[in-house]
Chains A and B, each alone.
Chain A
Amino acid sequence: MTLSVRIIPCLDVTDGRVVKGVNFTNLVDAGDPVEMASVYGIEGADELTFLDISASVVGRETTLDVVRRTAEQVFIPLTVGGGIRSVQDVDRLLRAGADKISINTSAIARPELIAEIADRFGAQVLVLSVDARRARTESGFEVTTHGGREGTDIDALAWVEKACALGVGEILLNSMDADGTRAGYDIGMITAVRAVSKVPLIASGGAGTLSDFAAALDAGADALLAASVFHFGIHRISDVKNYLTSHNYPVRVTSPK
């Protein structure tokens, strides 16, 4: 009995549609997040993440409906992030059917939000999303906002330590340097964050080859998030799992139907 590593596809959703480069085969509608979530579930995804990038209130309402419909038919954990600013936002998402929520900018602006959410719902629902890049801060890693476009001068490792003390249940570490490059996860960053945190760590940004996934695990990641390699069909989830299995990493194998 060993805890399996988790493979997590991430879908960017705006106004109820999946955006940012999706080229899915065997789908009637490659832009429908519910349909894509269902396909990934069948293919063996261990969790799903929706990142709501809607700019409007109406868009966020639509996301609640997407979460509701997904939770009705996909029976694996669902994390939803994007635009969450209050305990009430969390409550609405959990009631709609999300299992976990991730926060980023709002926690940087007001770190007490972490404790407020953890006290009310438990730390296990709370994923701290850290968008970090290499910079001249103390550790060499800086927290960014707005998808990596804006620096904060906050040291990423100090931020992770502070957030863990306030009560996050998990860290989603996105490398803004590696994001979208398919040149591999930022191994140095994963190693550094692993060393200062005692909660599960999800690596994100840069997945390209199958060996990239293994390298992130070797650096201390517990779970691996990827978007474009899955959406464009470069790798299927089963390809990643088969590769990891053959290299002796513990993965969940699902029985064929």
Chain B
Amino acid sequence: MIAILDYGSGNVRSAQRAFATSGMDVVITSDRAVALEAKGLVVPGVGAFAACMQGLNAVDGASIIRERISAERPVLGICIGMQILFSQGSEHAQNAPHTGVGIWDAEVSKLDAPILPHMGWNTVEAAESSDLLAGIEDQFFYFVHSYAAKQAVGQKQSWSTYGERFLAVVEDDYVSATQFHPEKSGDAGLALIKNWTKNL
């Protein structure tokens, strides 16, 4: 079973349907035990960094994520669900950046591009050994974001470029993340989901 962490963030319904195309059962939950026990945990996310962290903290999400990773149970972050895995986010931050879950020690900051958000279909430079992008290295994925991580973290990095180069996918043992929305990326996105679920 796959659990999609429900912490008050936007459209989780289509994520549920997209992950269900893998053939696995998918539940939307904020229940700690369910989220810990699921074979895979998806951390979705829509909205601003701080608002997402607030929602995440309300369901004790950071500790669920950390506990899963130390128990070698896979976690996949999507979009803002990727960004909050980093240590810091500068979105709408007044003085000091907001604190994230801190799985990766780097800051998520605004993209340097004339038109934001980066909205639409873009390609990625896939890491050679990428499991998530295997067979779909040359495909397009749907992005909607104005902030991104720009430093290499984790074991494998796949990059994309909009104004500047940023991390599109991180794969780091049991925790992976995509800046784009696989659940909104048509057949390519469903293929990525399948690549993730088959290794659960």
Q: Which residues of A contact B (CB under 8 A)?
A: 1-6, 41, 46, 68, 71-73, 75-77, 94-99, 120-125, 169-170, 198-200, 222-223, 252-255, 257
Contact = CB atoms under 8 A, between A and B. Distances in A.
A199 B117 CA distance: 7
A2 B119 contact: no
B11 interface: yes
B174 interface: no
Contacts of B185: 75-76
Contacts of B119: 124, 169-170, 200, 222
Name, among A77, A95, A97, the residue most crowded by chain B CB atoms within 10 Å (CB to CB): A77
Interface of B: 10-11, 13-14, 17-18, 46-48, 51, 114-125, 139-140, 142-146, 160-162, 181, 183-187, 189-190
A120 B47 CA distance: 8
A200 B117 contact: yes
Given A75-B18, A95-B13, A97-B11, 12 more contacts: A3-B162, A4-B140, A5-B120, A75-B183, A75-B189, A76-B142, A76-B186, A99-B14, A122-B51, A124-B119, A170-B117, A257-B187
Contacts of B161: 1
27 contacts: A1-B124, A3-B143, A6-B120, A46-B121, A73-B17, A75-B14, A75-B18, A75-B187, A75-B190, A77-B142, A97-B13, A97-B14, A99-B144, A120-B47, A121-B10, A122-B46, A122-B48, A123-B117, A124-B119, A124-B144, A124-B146, A170-B117, A198-B116, A222-B120, A254-B140, A254-B187, A257-B187
A213 B34 CA distance: 49
User: Main secondary structure on chain B at its contact with chain A?
Assistant: mixed
A170 B144 CA distance: 11
Contact of A1 (B51, B114, B125, B181): B125
Name, among B47, B118, B186, the residue most crowded by chain A CB atoms within 10 Å (CB to CB): B186
B122 A4 contact: yes
A223 B120 contact: yes
B118 A3 contact: yes
A198 B48 contact: no
Given A123-B117, A124-B119, A94 B139 contact: no
A255 B11 CA distance: 27
A71 B124 contact: no
Contacts of B114: 198
A174 B163 CA distance: 28
A222 B160 CA distance: 18
A89 B130 CA distance: 41
A98 B140 CA distance: 21
A177 to B, nearest CB: 25
B187 A255 contact: yes
B120 A71 contact: no
A97 B145 CA distance: 19
Nearest to A46: B121
Contacts of A254: 140, 186-187
Contacts of A96: 13
A2 B161 CA distance: 7
Contacts of B186: 41, 75-76, 254
A120 to B, nearest CB: 8
A125 B115 contact: no
A222 to B, nearest CB: 7
Name, among B10, B18, B185, the residue most crowded by chain A CB atoms within 10 Å (CB to CB): B10
Contact of A222 (B115, B122, B184): B115
A124 B145 contact: yes
A170 B51 CA distance: 21
A99 B121 CA distance: 15
B46 A121 contact: yes
Name, among B46, B47, B121, the residue most crowded by chain A CB atoms within 10 Å (CB to CB): B121
B43 to A, nearest CB: 16
A1 B123 contact: yes
Nearest to B168: A1
Contact of B11 (A99, A199, A222): A99
B11 A98 contact: yes
Contacts of B13: 68, 71-72, 95-97
